[in-house]
Structure 1
Amino acid sequence: MSIIAQLATSLGRKDETPNLELAAQIAKINNKKAIQELVANLSNKSKDLQHDCIKTLYETANLKPALIAAYFNDFISLLGSKNNRLQWGAMTALNYIAAENFDAAFHALPAMAAAAEAGSVITRDHFVAILIRLCANRQYAADAFTLLNEQLRHCPANQLPMYAENALPIINESNKTAITQTLTARLNDFEKESKRKRVEKVLKKIR
């Protein structure tokens, strides 16, 4: 049975379970041909099949990023898609495979930043996650942190507590002053006290 025939849409299913199960199977047996077929069908005439393909690809990437890493540029190309599902799905995949090729991820930051600015909350979430991954790499840490701090300055207030919490592992002596200033400056941006308290908790850990 072809890989496409095993996707949720092909099976007449409305849930994601078949795609999740397929991703697990592909990762388990290192099925490179399956990945190739899924990538080829990201331009399928059926949007439902496109969505199943990107879902299966990024779920596979989450389980075994090295299996998907060769398609980095294909996902970059999708960041400009008018199909929002493909756009944020591509950024999700890029987040999972960024650590497989930090150099490619670093050089693709302008394209990813543009997509994050124009795209959905999910697109931005995964872009910020990529920046945090790059901050953990000594070679790219300084430049990546500059971009991360910019995101923290201007991102929607609802997302800021999560971003700040996720950034904690990469905060060090060289960047803690900058991030402290950024977070402190945004403490009055929250409608919900619970979100403000989460950022205040991060600040206490930094100090």
Structure 2
Amino acid sequence: MVISELASQLDRKDEQPNIELARRLVNEKDYAGVKEVIENLSNKNKKIQSDCIKVVYEVGEMEPEMISNYALIFIDLLNSRNNRLVWGSMSALSTIASEASEVLMNHVQEIISAMKTGSVITVDKGVMTLAKLASVNEMNNERIFPVLIQHLETCRVKEIPQHAESTLIAVTEHNKEHFITTLKQRAQYMTAPQYKRIKKIYKSLNVE
């Protein structure tokens, strides 16, 4: 029983047991264990739900392929009333966006909608998910990049550096100018440390 190794079941307040469980599942290529964790995302015990979603996206960080078949479950959980499951599922999606891009593209509007109403982490991981999807191919990029640009135009100034850094993988020769123009329009409102991060982005794109 994988569930017996969860933090809440060990009466632990920290996440270390969940991280260790994720590491073990990956090291042992324990697909049955991952399946058990996924099934318990709908456990009646919210502590078990929270532990399981932590294990899921930790596995995704290490070995995305082990959770990529469960993409539709994570998309469904974006509508959960449990905020921990919402941002945890978006975190999981951000780890498998390249592996499960076709499935995610069929539900991209749900990802965008979750970002509009979600917590800070949901938005952060949502931007990362969209950027990864946009980097997969030109068709994805044409659909998603305008959404990323609109986000950079309207998000809070303090979020721009991080979200611009996430978006960078979706920047191409075709859309680079639009990206840079958007950042320059908002640069005047940034603090010195924020603008320093933007300048690093310019440098990576060979822009003055």
TM range (shorter): over 0.9
Normalising by structure 2, report the TM-score: 0.92
> In the aligned structure 1, how far is the partner of 2:169 from the partner of 2:54?
28
Once the two structures are TM-superposed, the CA of residue 176 in structure 1 deviates from its matched residue by: 1.2
Bigger mean CA deviation after superposition, 8-17 or 128-137: 128-137
8 Å Cα contact 2:127/2:166 also seen in 1: no
Partner of 2:151: 151
Q: Which residue identity does 1:155 align to in structure 2?
A: C
Distance apart, 1:28 and its partner CA: 1.3
Rounded to whole Å, the distance in 1 between the matches of 2:79 and 2:51 is: 19
Return the alpha-carbon distance in structure 1 between the equivalents of residues 176 and 42 of structure 2: 44
Spell out the pairing of 1:115-154 with structure 2 (5 A cutoff).
115-138=114-137, 139-154=139-154
Which residue of structure 1 lines up, in the alignment, with residue 20 of structure 2?
A: 21
Change in Cα spacing, 1:24 to 1:204, as seen in structure 2 (3 Å) is closer
> 2:200 and 2:63 mapped to 1: Cα distance?
33
In structure 2, what is the equivalent of residue 62 of structure 1? 61
Q: Is the 8 A contact 1:19 1:52 kept in 2?
A: yes
Partner Cα separation in structure 2 for residue 165 and residue 98 of structure 1? 17
Aligned pair count reads: 205
- Offset at 1:204? 4.7
Counterpart amino acid of residue 123 in structure 2: R
1:87-102 paired onto structure 2 within 5 Å: 87-102=86-101
Q: How many angstroms apart in 2 are the aligned matches of 1:95 and 1:201?
A: 23
| Residue 205 (structure 1) shift | 4.2
* Residue pair 1:88, 1:123 contacting (<8 A) in 2 also: yes
Please tell me the residue identity of whatever aligns with 2:159. Q
User: 2:73 & 2:80 partners in 1: Cα distance?
Assistant: 11
Gaps of 5+ in 2: none
Confirm or deny that 1:49 pairs with 2:18.
Answer: no
1:179 and 2:187 are equivalent in the alignment = no
Which region of structure 1 is more displaced relative to structure 2, 158-167 or 79-88? 158-167
Cα deviation, residue 164, structure 1 = 1.6
Deviates more, 1:157-166 or 1:95-104: 157-166
Cα contact 1:66–1:100 (8 A) shared by 2 = yes
Distance in structure 2 (CA, Å) of the matches to 1:53 and 1:169: 29
- Whether the 8 Å contact between 1:183 and 1:203 is mirrored in structure 2 is no
Shift of 1:13: 0.6
Structure 1 consecutive aligned stretches of length 4 or more whose deviation exceeds 6 Å? none
CA distance in 2, matches of 1:88, 1:134: 18
Any stretches of 5+ residues in structure 1 without a counterpart?
A: none
Q: Deviations over 1:131-168 (max 9, x none)?
A: 22122222412212112112211122111111222333
Deviations 1:76-129 (CA, angstroms, capped at 9, x unpaired): 010011111100000000111111121112121100111111011111111111
Q: Could you tell me how far apart the structure 2 residues matched to 1:163 and 1:12 are? A: 36
How far, CA to CA, are the matches of 2:76 and 2:158 in structure 1? 29
Query: TM-score normalized by structure 1?
Result: 0.93
